[in-house]
Amino acid sequence: MLKQLCVIMLLALAGCSSNNHFSDIATSNVAGQYFNDDGFGNQTNLILHDNGRYESTIEGVAGVTSYSQGTWSNIGNKISFSPESNSDKLKLSIQPMEVVEQNHELLLVPVRKVNLHQQLMANFGKSTYTYNR
């Protein structure tokens, strides 16, 4: 019985260590330019500057359709945004994003879409929820 319990614990710990989340990522490593293509002709561009500022635009077939800019912070590998000026679709604040690793690349995934992202990656090898560099 003790052996079985040890094997179960070992497998559980191995599963925990292989998740896609980084532990304690420096803000300077997260800073950079990210993009998301929704598959319908709209692309969201997100630039996280080293100084804690961000810029974001949504470009559709008619050009830039909305923007947002302000400050961002990285707490517990979750990126939060505080907009200072914005327009159109980005008038609502940008949703917090979780920093994940996939194939040794940093990606941003909206926090509320992480589980769906993981399911899409497992089933199809692609997710429309990632913000890639």
Residue-range domain boundaries for the chain: 21-124
The CATH number given to 21-124 is: 2.40.128
The span from the CA of 52 to the CA of 122, in Å, is 33
Q: What is the pLDDT along the chain (133 residues), one digit of tens a residue?
A: 444 333 334 333 333 433 444 445 666 689 999 999 877 888 889 999 999 999 998 888 777 778 889 999 998 889 999 989 888 766 556 789 999 877 778 889 989 888 888 888 888 887 777 888 8
Residue with tokens 């429309």: 128
Contact 131, 109 (CB under 8 A): yes
Distance, C-alpha 42 to centroid of its chain: 18
